[in-house]
Structure 1
Amino acid sequence: MIGKVGTGKSFRGVLHYLFEGRRQESKELQMQELEKKQVEVFAYNQCFGTRLELVREMIEVAKLNPDQSKPVFHFSLSFAHSDAGKLGLQDKIDIVEKLAEKFDFKDHQYVVVAHKDTDHEHLHIVANRIGFDGKTASDSNSYKHVAEFARKMELEYNIEKVLSPNKFLKPEQRVARGQRFDNRKEALKKHLQVAVKQSNNVQQVKQYMEQRGYKVELGRGIAFTDAQHVRFKGSQVGYAMMDIEKKIQQEQLLRQQQEQNRQAQLLQKQQEELKKPQQKEKEKQQVHQHTSSIGR
């Protein structure tokens, strides 16, 4: 399980994203985005209603501590492909309740939302860091705590284990993890080298990598997730989007040059073949002339 956490200023922004997806240029595109997200609300705590009602309720409570500029907690919990079907609805709710206890917002407002727009299960939890008593749930060392929480849940629910971020591991664990990380990067890099050589555009690179088990994200940049759910940005292995496009152009120019050289060599060979009969005839004439001069 991969756990992520962030704090923010706007309940309106994060809840709009969770309920309706990224903001689109038109109502039609926004409806398509909403349909793609396949939003499902799993649980409410100390709040209830539509997106707008939730926003209003959470803002009202956040006003109890006006000095706190970031009242929003946003967690995401992602489960591995191999964990599909292992956890029931109640299991997921229980995990969220344990998360709320871990981060001290169990009595605060929060909503749990599931999206089905990816091929692995994941939950989003939006919580109000401000309680009804005006006190704020701490976000100190939150990245470390969410990693520890994920490892604990993996053991408790027998789901796939994922390594914690390197900075939260013991020194001896960091070396082993670093080696595995580097091996994955090298494997990804080798696949990309072949993909670029064989492709005429980025879409063909994407298809090649997907055939080899990678999940490919295309947007302003490019990212790859391997079979062990380890994600790399293309820039981490020297294959950012611009690098890939540049390398493809270079490969195309190289292939064109090689083809031109091949055609030139073929033409030269053909010309040499055409000259052979002429050369033989010339040599024959020279021999005849030489023989005639000797006879005289």
Structure 2
Amino acid sequence: MIGKIFPKSSGSFKNRIRYIFGCTKHDHEISQIVTLDSNCISKDPLPALQAGSEDDVMEMIQEFDQVEILRQMSIDSNKPIKPVLHAMLSLRPGETLTTSQWRTAVRKYVTDLGFAENCKYVAVMHRDRDHEHVHIVANRISLDEGFPMVKDSNERSTSMDSVSDIEDIFGLRKAPRPLETWGTALTHAQIQASIRDGQLPHKHRLVAKIAGAIEVTNAIDGDMFEFVRLLRKQKVYLHLTLDNQGQPKGISYEFDGKHISGRQLKRSRLTWNKLITQEGINYDPKTIRELQEEIARRDTEEQERIIRVYYYEFRRRNQGFFIKFTAQQIEVMKIVEAIMKLLELIFGGGFTAKESSYDTCYIEYVPGEPLEIVSLEQSTLRI
């Protein structure tokens, strides 16, 4: 099951309620509509609609809209509000719930979101050719004293938790959850594709890959070069646009042959500026030419087979030193982890590591061989 909360809106409930009852054109075919649940005083609009009359649906709309009018008359406030909640619960193809089970699921969901009995709501099921889904329209204004609004903080996280509980209650297959996509919203079309294919949409898979690369880069105190390499391992490639000074001003991400700019993908986190200033990925403007060369590489597997020399700086507070080792790119992190464990045994924890240029003195590390302290000013010391 997938839970989707549409953007909040102000004004009348007319468009949302007419939509869920099939009075307007839909972006999918509805083979059957069933009113599942409602705490409204007005009649179920379906019988009249099937007879060709919208009188009862207009009566329900008026009942929803009247609540905001009562609130405006009761409290002295010109603060704009958005009382319209529109949510949707979707099953995978082949899965089904009885009307009673759907009613239980809907009541749990709206209760988990904070809607009490004094909040008007209606739930309508659409039976499509391949899957069932339910639309829920609710009024965020409660009829309690003072007409308080239902809070929407952490609403999407609460929605995912509630959906997970419903899946457990009725033994439904767990739907893919975009836990690593930083809350990137799903469109209606993406929800349908996710249900059919059993995987996250392209955009969400891409964001998850980038998010993972950012986390690893930060964990090893890496820079933009490391970020590029980590993305390349996942078949994600970067494209930069430069300003008049030859420095990056924009970035786009390529995955499965599709290009998406950082601004379109996640404006608050994945633009070039946000990667540097907010996500903490180190970038030296002097390295732009080398960075462009690194970005242009596509032969990941071939690059991983190339053996090269690495210099890593290991530092803990004011204590630090350089270690030199030779390895394939694919083996680097394993060697760094081994060195970190060795340092922890000798000095205790707290060290961080990052790739660097060599200093005047460094330790030569060859697995299985004695350590050598190499100084450019003094002779080599074997340990």
TMscore range, shorter length: 0.5 to 0.7
3-state SS of the aligned residue for 1:81?
coil
Q: For the residues of structure 2 that align with 1:121 and 1:110, how far apart are their CA atoms?
A: 20
Does the C-alpha gap of structure 1 residues 37 and 137 become closer, same or farther in structure 2, counting only changes over 3 Å? Answer: farther
3-state SS of the aligned residue for 1:130?
coil
Q: What one-letter code is carried by the residue in structure 2 that aligns with 1:64?
A: L
| Residues 133-153 of structure 1: CA deviation (Å, up to 9, x unaligned) | 211111111111101111111
1:97 aligned onto 2:107: yes
Contact map agreement 2:109 2:163 (CA 8 A) in 1: no
1:16 aligned onto 2:18: yes
3-state SS of the aligned residue for 1:122?
strand
Q: For the residues of structure 1 that align with 2:154 and 2:255, how far apart are their CA atoms?
A: 26
Q: For the residues of structure 1 that align with 2:121 and 2:34, how far apart are their CA atoms?
A: 15
Q: For the residues of structure 2 that align with 1:145 and 1:57, how far apart are their CA atoms?
A: 28
1:4 aligned onto 2:4: yes
In the other structure, the counterpart of 1:228 is: 198
In the other structure, the counterpart of 1:71 is: 83
Does the C-alpha gap of structure 1 residues 52 and 232 become closer, same or farther in structure 2, counting only changes over 3 Å? Answer: farther
Q: For the residues of structure 1 that align with 2:105 and 2:94, how far apart are their CA atoms?
A: 18
Contact map agreement 2:5 2:86 (CA 8 A) in 1: yes
Does the C-alpha gap of structure 1 residues 8 and 157 become closer, same or farther in structure 2, counting only changes over 3 Å? Answer: same
TM-score (norm 2): 0.41
| Residues 75-131 of structure 1: CA deviation (Å, up to 9, x unaligned) | 1000112423xx211111011111121122131111111112351110011011111
Does the C-alpha gap of structure 1 residues 164 and 36 become closer, same or farther in structure 2, counting only changes over 3 Å? Answer: closer
In the other structure, the counterpart of 1:114 is: 125
Larger Rg: 1
Quote how far apart the aligned CAs of 1:224 are.
4.6
1:80 aligned onto 2:80: no
Q: For the residues of structure 1 that align with 2:193 and 2:99, how far apart are their CA atoms?
A: 30
Q: What one-letter code is carried by the residue in structure 2 that aligns with 1:59?
A: D
The correspondence of residues 235-254 of structure 1 with structure 2, limited to 5 A, is: 237-238=256-257
3-state SS of the aligned residue for 1:20?
coil
In the other structure, the counterpart of 2:176 is: 163
Aligned length: 179
Q: 1:60 aligns with which of 59, 66, 76?
A: 66
Structure 1: state its 5+ residue gaps.
Answer: 25-32, 170-216, 241-296
Q: What one-letter code is carried by the residue in structure 2 that aligns with 1:14?
A: R
Does the C-alpha gap of structure 1 residues 227 and 57 become closer, same or farther in structure 2, counting only changes over 3 Å? Answer: same
Contact map agreement 1:39 1:114 (CA 8 A) in 2: yes
Quote how far apart the aligned CAs of 1:71 are.
0.5
The correspondence of residues 178-197 of structure 1 with structure 2, limited to 5 A, is: none
Q: For the residues of structure 2 that align with 1:34 and 1:62, how far apart are their CA atoms?
A: 31
Does the C-alpha gap of structure 1 residues 159 and 53 become closer, same or farther in structure 2, counting only changes over 3 Å? Answer: same
Quote how far apart the aligned CAs of 1:232 are.
4.1
In the other structure, the counterpart of 1:45 is: 39
Quote how far apart the aligned CAs of 1:168 are.
7.8
Quote how far apart the aligned CAs of 1:46 are.
3.1
Contact map agreement 1:115 1:122 (CA 8 A) in 2: yes
Q: For the residues of structure 2 that align with 1:112 and 1:101, how far apart are their CA atoms?
A: 13
Q: For the residues of structure 1 that align with 2:88 and 2:115, how far apart are their CA atoms?
A: 15
Contact map agreement 1:80 1:229 (CA 8 A) in 2: no
Q: For the residues of structure 2 that align with 1:73 and 1:154, how far apart are their CA atoms?
A: 22
What do you get for the CA RMSD once the two structures are aligned? 3.2
Does the C-alpha gap of structure 1 residues 96 and 106 become closer, same or farther in structure 2, counting only changes over 3 Å? Answer: farther
| Residues 212-255 of structure 1: CA deviation (Å, up to 9, x unaligned) | xxxxx7xxx9x95453154447x974469xxxxxxxxxxxxxxx
Structure 2: state its 5+ residue gaps.
Answer: 44-55, 73-78, 183-188, 204-253, 260-383
Structure showing the higher strand proportion among its residues: 2
The correspondence of residues 143-222 of structure 1 with structure 2, limited to 5 A, is: 143-167=156-180
Q: What one-letter code is carried by the residue in structure 2 that aligns with 1:51?
A: V
| Residues 7-42 of structure 1: CA deviation (Å, up to 9, x unaligned) | 222411111211235459xxxxxxxx9984532211
Contact map agreement 2:90 2:134 (CA 8 A) in 1: yes
Structure showing the higher helix proportion among its residues: 1
Q: What one-letter code is carried by the residue in structure 2 that aligns with 1:90?
A: S
TM-score (norm 1): 0.53
Q: For the residues of structure 2 that align with 1:224 and 1:78, how far apart are their CA atoms?
A: 12
Q: For the residues of structure 2 that align with 1:154 and 1:224, how far apart are their CA atoms?
A: 19
Contact map agreement 2:115 2:150 (CA 8 A) in 1: yes
Q: What one-letter code is carried by the residue in structure 2 that aligns with 1:159?
A: L
